[in-house]
Amino acid sequence: MQSDPEEMRLLAQRRRNHFQRKQFWAAGFMDVITVDQHDKLKKYGLALHVGIEPMSGVCLWLNAWHNNNNPKLILSYYLDYVEAYGCKPALVRASDMFPLTYSRAIDIPLVTQSDPGTENWYIANAQSFLREWHDPAMQGCLAHRWMSHKKNIKPEIFWSQVRRRFSPGAESLIARGVVEEAYNPDNMQEAFVFRCVFMPWISAELEGFRDRVNNARKRRDRNKVLPHGIPNEIAERPSDYGVLDFKVTLVSASFRDYIFDYLNNNQIKVDPQAIAAVRALWAPKEDPIFQLVPPEFAAIFERVYETLGRPVVTRKNAWDVYDKVLYRIRSEEMAAEFPPGYQDNWAYAMGGIIDRNLPRPEPDLGLQEDTYPLGGGRSARREDGSYYFGGVNHGRGPNGMSLSQYKERLRVYLATDTSFNEELKRLWEENEGGLLPIPDDFPDFGSEGLFSDLEEASDEGEE
């Protein structure tokens, strides 16, 4: 049979496109945070979610729950990260009268990025709210990037690593219960017992996996343009790796508050005003999505688990503990503990399992209107064929400048800005920008004119 030349040509073209190598580049640390969900284990009642900082490669969170398509839950992961890891004392310029002051600070990225699903609406709203909280010039801007199918590349790469290095062992263990018909994810009692027994153990295993990823040096790749090193070290000291630090510092406290907290607690507590406002609006903690199981069932499980001596769940005994708990819950003496009509009353907690084929409901609150959209993106192809999806210069990127040119322009700016406190300037120069936040009037936070006089330039070696 003779091959069609046109078919052969199209096949060769498809193969070339399939194996075409591309490079990922970010303007600096915290330029963008990418988030994504993983549904491969949902058939067992496990829904995973991850947040990645691409420049350093740090996995910010890796969480398991019974749902990963609820926008309130997805936002809570981001807020939990910001409160736990993004809060620290910051040295900032307050005013000409009090030029040097300490303050509580909350660090967030310039933009967030995700797939275009409704589950990501609230993280987009919250990121925009927090950016506007810091910089009124961001009013009306949706500080979030929507990536088309399979274009949110960094989380996709991470999930491929999870599938190779974590899922085989965990999935084979969980699948054993399904194969042996000990566990049916669509059965309410079995699903709730599974969550109570397995979810804490799976979460601990995922946290261990995340810790190993963040503290292991990656294999050197000559095609990689991002910095090589241990992710946590790059994140903690970006200037040591020639990386700019673009995290936005939300500040609200006084020098007196700083001293009081330091003397009494030997630590800096973060003013929760901004985060509390976001939680109250888009992720209230009393929402049922944050319940592992209904409270009534949780109380029943606790009583049964106590009678078993509260065994520590491990890979070896997980199904034994599950079987013992389920057997006692189904005993006649425990039957009276279940309230009348519990199956109907607790059906809301099974939404991600039994109703998995139903269309997702729209979020209660809509997506913020984007009246001042970011520049760049898929519609702004650069001269070298690349696209920029970060938040520098309101999404337009560092105007074609290389990393070294951008840092040099920053040094020139600090040298000519006489209002910038000399002590802060000295600290900035000593740490190459690693200690202090970029000044408020720097173009990353809304201003557009500082780089307007620069000619377009590029440094292929660094980009």
CATH number of the CATH domain containing 431: 3.30.420.10
Contact 218, 373 (CB under 8 A): no
* Domain presence at residue 346: no
Range of the domain at 130: 32-289+364-445
Residue 250: what pLDDT? 57
Going by C-alpha positions, the residue among 413, 435, 432 that lies closest to residue 100 is: 435
Q: Distance between CA 177 and CA 44 in Å, rounded? A: 10
**Number of structural domains found in the chain:** 1
* Domain presence at residue 338: no
What 8-state DSSP symbol labels residue 68? S
Strand, helix or coil for residue 8: helix
* Domain presence at residue 128: yes
**pTM score of the predicted model:** 0.76
Instruction: Quote the tokens at residue 219.
Output: 């294999």
* Domain presence at residue 312: no
* Domain presence at residue 460: no
* Domain presence at residue 332: no
In the chain, % helix, strand, coil (3-state, to 5) comes to: 45, 10, 45
Listing from the earlier edge strand, what are the strands of the sheet with 248-251? 87-92, 101-108, 248-251
Q: Buried b vs exposed e over 199-208: b needs ≥16 C-beta within 10 Å?
A: bebbeebbee
Beta-bridge mates of residue 113: 34, 145
Q: Distance between CA 181 and CA 192 in Å, rounded? A: 16
Going by C-alpha positions, the residue among 109, 132, 118 that lies closest to residue 51 is: 109
- 10-residue mean pLDDT profile of the chain (463 residues): values are 64 62 76 94 94 93 95 95 66 36 60 93 93 79 88 90 90 92 93 96 95 88 76 88 74 41 37 79 92 94 95 95 95 85 85 48 78 86 78 76 50 51 50 41 33 32 33
Instruction: Quote the tokens at residue 129.
Output: 């709210």
Instruction: Quote the tokens at residue 190.
Output: 């079995």
H or E segment to which residue 64 belongs: strand 58-65
* Domain presence at residue 428: yes
* Domain presence at residue 341: no
Residue 162: what pLDDT? 93
Residue 6: what pLDDT? 65
Q: Distance between CA 268 and CA 303 in Å, rounded? A: 39
